[in-house]
Amino acid sequence: MTVRILPARQEVMQAARRYAFLGLALFALLAPAAHAVPVNFQPVADGVYAHIGEMGARTVANEGLNANLGLVVTPAGAVLIDSGATYRSAQQIAAAVRRITAQPVRWVINTGGQDHRWLGNGYFQAQGAEIIAHAAAEADMRDRGGDHLAALRAALGPLADGTVPVLPTRWLQGRDERLELGGVVFEFKHRGGAHTPGDVLVWLPQKNVLFSGDVVYVDRLLGVMPYSRTRPWLATFDEIERLAPAVIVPGHGQVTDLATAQAQTRDYLRALRAHMKQAVDEGLDMSTAIKTFHAQPWLGLLNAAELMPGNASRAYLELERE
Ligand SMILES: [Zn+2]
């Protein structure tokens, strides 16, 4: 018996080595073409999907796709929520959509004015999609689109090739707007901006799912930028509490619930504003105000150390103007 087993085992080993070599050769052959950012839509409700982007910086490896995306499949077509940062990453998003549904992307919604929300628009518009955003995003997109692209070119090199800032073709005007596609209702809530001036909530009442865009950050600290406004940001958050969604797809971080969003986004903004209001009222200088902010509850969030000082200074300046 042993005499027969031994050669068989040797053959298996030889075959394994041969296949391993073949596998390596195949991998080497495919590797350049296979270098593509992984976009992966996971179901969050019936016909509703989310791609959870990386939480770090824009890199060659993630092709600027460091934010979350949404997909809603209706019988009359698919709706993409945010189009990614580049033409090339938009192609990867489209390929990920095709793995979920054969429906064409009829609408693309841009939830805000930051690059990874809309610089992939050109690809989808060329495919026949209508691009939708809130009118409050227009000036911001026009102002910053070119700068975004320059920064992406610096970070991504040739991976940013083909990207052109393509503005939406349909601007939503009101505080509350409603659209319907294939029987699926999309409600839009704009309360004066948040992380960017055009930040809009996309609420699916039949699905009990909210795509918050950059109104909600979890797992990583939110960014208060020069174009952010914390007062309307909290007013927008009030609207989320009124809607009480079962599922929140945040702008950044894992799919979450209201309690987590309250703790990691609302409570931080409230504490920051309260602290800076008191500092401004008492005539405290900015650097003292920044140093005395009690940041402890949010220090565990990713990027907290880097973002805290800038957030605090911009909140101080905003409170000074109010
Ligand atoms: Zn963002």
Instruction: Give the per-residue pLDDT at 17.
Output: 52
Distance 214 CA to ligand 1 centre (A): 5
Euclidean distance between CA atoms 232 and 190, whole angstroms: 9
270: alpha, beta or left? (left if phi > 0; alpha if psi -120 to 50): alpha
Residue 186 scores a pLDDT above 80: yes
Amino acid (one-letter) located at 211:
F
Instruction: Give the per-residue pLDDT at 222.
Output: 98
Residue 11 scores a pLDDT above 60: no
Residue 248 scores a pLDDT above 90: yes
Distance 101 CA to ligand 1 centre (A): 26
Distance 296 CA to ligand 1 centre (A): 23
To 10 degrees, what angle do helices 230-243 and 267-281 make?
A: 150
Euclidean distance between CA atoms 79 and 266, whole angstroms: 28
Residues forming a β-bridge with 248: 210, 256
Stretch 76-104: mean pLDDT:
97
Residue 32 scores a pLDDT above 60: no
Distance 112 CA to ligand 1 centre (A): 8
Percent of the chain with pLDDT over 90: 84
Alpha carbon distances (Å) from 322 to 39, 105, 276, 289, 315: 41, 42, 11, 17, 11
Stretch 267-284: mean pLDDT:
98
Instruction: Give the per-residue pLDDT at 14.
Output: 55
CA-based end-to-end distance of the chain? 89
Distance 47 CA to ligand 1 centre (A): 24
pLDDT class of 225 with cuts at 50, 70, 90: very high
Distance 17 CA to ligand 1 centre (A): 46
Q: With contact defined as beta carbons under 8 Å apart, do 97 and 193 qualify? A: no
Q: With contact defined as beta carbons under 8 Å apart, do 148 and 166 qualify? A: no
Instruction: Give the per-residue pLDDT at 56.
Output: 84
Residue 115 scores a pLDDT above 80: yes
Residue 5 scores a pLDDT above 80: no
Euclidean distance between CA atoms 84 and 75, whole angstroms: 24
Which phi and psi angles does 196 have, rounded to 5°? -130, 160
pTM: 0.89
